[in-house]
Amino acid sequence: MTEAHAPISVEATQSTLVLREGDEGYEEARRIHNGMIDKRPALIYRCRTDRDVAAAIETARREGLELSVRGGGHNVAGRAVTDGGVMIDLSSMKRIEVDPDARTVRAEPGLNWGEFNAATQAHGLGVTGGTISTTGIAGLTLGGGLGWLMGKFGLATDNLRSARVVTASGDVLTANATENPDLYWGIRGGGGNFGVVTEFEYALYPVGPTITGGFVFYDYDHAADVVRLFRDVSAGLSDDMSLVLGLIRNPEPPHQLLAGIIVCHVGPEEQAERDVAALRSIGEPVVDAIVRKSYCDVNAQFDFGFPNRALNYWKSSFLQGLPEEAIAQMVADFAEAPSRMTVLLIEDLHGQATRVPVEATAVPHRRQGFNLLIPSVWWDPAETDANVEWTRRAFDNLRPFLAEGRYVNYLDDDEAQRGPDPVRAAYGPNYERLVEVKSQYDPENIFRLNFNIPPRSA
């Protein structure tokens, strides 16, 4: 520390590395996946234990500083990093212990899904874990957790059996069905509003290790037909099969527009072949790469499109359906996307994820249907205005077809300025109960740098 640093009294433990601007490692620690985020915390606590986390919370409380929590750092809105406050960095906490006999796993919040899957797949086990393997397990689970296996096993948060939580008061609590059950209910979808989770325990299921996955893409002249096919096939999917519609540009020159369907099928090979046959029914595809491969590879099949530190701006909402007018609008608008890295995705929601009662967890999105995501991605900061403007316009053009619900993990940083309260939309009928849980565990709203649920007293 030098005299130039702000006079902040630092609460720390022997295992904590506390970084200030100018310290070695500070620049790397403050950078997250979305290259548009450029914030500078006053202090970065690189935590390894519960006590480290509690010490960081105490420093922020005492000094009146904003507090942020970083797990994998993938959140597009950049809420993992504070400007001028205290950042809790959990990225060094990567312990994972698989119990293959009990089919459970205990995992720390610094893990991403690729690391998690590598450990569980060594035993032929898995659980729903997003669609991009570099995403952190913590943020995805706490926000609900859509993923390739949700038709078979439900959302990631549906499979959270227990968690260890450091609260705003510095207490370390166990949250499960019998201990602090109200907190357990809240963290299963309520995000980082209630504390810092330092350990997750999940149920596991037999998965692979070899399954069917990949994609089939057609020339863009067939784009409307591809969307219709996706819509119609989704109506009769088995739990074993998950689909995502993709409008993309070919990553290889000449980067032509393509429309296709990405697939994950965890059932027997013979059944998978029968189920995916319908996806090959629109003439001759430009690429057909649906094959038998490892679940780890399937969970990473989007990774190339979301490189670390690229610039990102996203818009997302659940859809009322896919009528012809919506199909025509999205096909026309996507053809004008300014970046060849940008995609338009529609995730199918069905199966076990829709059988969980709305009130069982904080996640209210339990109807069969579709979730739209328009993630614009580019590299050159000079192209930011054009990409943001196009994304907003394309999303606004689809507003007549949007449902009320929003998936909290896909919300970008400007949501509150561009429409109805996104947090209420994300939690719907569960919002008021979340306020009660927040009021009990974080009455001063210490954990507010998130898609925030203010307590009653705030």
217 plus 255 within the same structural domain: yes
pLDDT attached to residue 1? 36
Q: Is residue 323 part of a domain?
A: yes
CATH number at 181 reads: 3.30.465.10
With bands split at pLDDT 50, 70 and 90, how would you rate the model's confidence at 417?
confident
**Chain segment 191-242, per-residue pLDDT in tens:** 999 999 999 999 999 999 999 999 999 999 999 999 999 999 999 999 999 9
Of 147, 84, 56, 78, nearest to 349 by C-alpha is 147
First to last CA, the chain: 35
Q: Which class for 49: exposed (0-12), middle (13-18), buried (19 or more C-beta within 10 A)? A: middle
Q: Give the residue numbers spanning the domain of 129.
A: 96-207+432-441
437 plus 387 within the same structural domain: no
Concatenated DSSP letters for 210-279? EEEEEEEEEEGGGHHHHHHHHHHHHTT--TTEEEEEEEEE-SSTT--EEEEEEEEE-S-HHHHHHHHGGG
pLDDT attached to residue 7? 61
188 plus 292 within the same structural domain: no
Q: Which of 38, 70, 89 is the last residue of a domain?
A: 89
Q: Is residue 10 part of a domain?
A: no
How does DSSP classify residue 90?
-
225 plus 329 within the same structural domain: yes
pLDDT attached to residue 12? 62
d(CA 280, CA 99): 40
Dihedral sign of CA atoms 202, 206, 207, 210 in order: positive
Helix (H) or strand (E) run with residue 405 in it: none
Q: Is residue 3 part of a domain?
A: no
Per the CB < 8 A criterion, the answer to whether 340 and 255 are in contact is: yes
Percent of the chain with pLDDT over 90: 94
105 plus 237 within the same structural domain: no
222 plus 82 within the same structural domain: no
| pLDDT value at 99 more than 70 | yes
110 plus 35 within the same structural domain: no
Quickly count: other Cβ atoms within 10 Å of residue 318's Cβ. 19
Dihedral sign of CA atoms 148, 130, 408, 414 in order: negative
**Chain segment 247-304, per-residue pLDDT in tens:** 999 999 999 999 999 999 999 999 999 999 999 999 899 999 999 999 999 999 999 9
311 plus 393 within the same structural domain: yes
Q: Is residue 447 part of a domain?
A: no
pLDDT attached to residue 139? 97
CATH number at 353 reads: 3.40.462.20
pLDDT attached to residue 104? 98
| pLDDT value at 418 more than 90 | no
Helix, strand, coil proportions of the chain in percent (round to 5)? 30, 25, 45
Q: What is the mean pLDDT of residues 312-338?
A: 98
Quote the number of domains for the chain.
Answer: 3
269 plus 153 within the same structural domain: no
pLDDT attached to residue 5? 46
Model confidence, pTM: 0.94
Q: Which of 59, 74, 89 is the last residue of a domain?
A: 89
Q: Is residue 199 part of a domain?
A: yes
Q: Is residue 6 part of a domain?
A: no
With bands split at pLDDT 50, 70 and 90, how would you rate the model's confidence at 2?
very low
320 plus 173 within the same structural domain: no
Strand 86-89 versus strand 43-46 pairing type: parallel
Q: Which of 26, 57, 89 is the last residue of a domain?
A: 89
pLDDT attached to residue 14? 67
402 plus 437 within the same structural domain: no
240 plus 368 within the same structural domain: yes
CATH number at 22 reads: 3.30.43.10
Amino acid at 89: D
| pLDDT value at 11 more than 80 | no
Q: What is the mean pLDDT of residues 154-162?
A: 98
**Chain segment 358-411, per-residue pLDDT in tens:** 999 999 999 999 999 999 999 999 999 999 999 999 999 999 999 999 999 999
Residue 39's SS3 state is coil
Q: Is residue 4 part of a domain?
A: no
Q: Is residue 48 part of a domain?
A: yes
Helix (H) or strand (E) run with residue 93 in it: none
| pLDDT value at 3 more than 90 | no
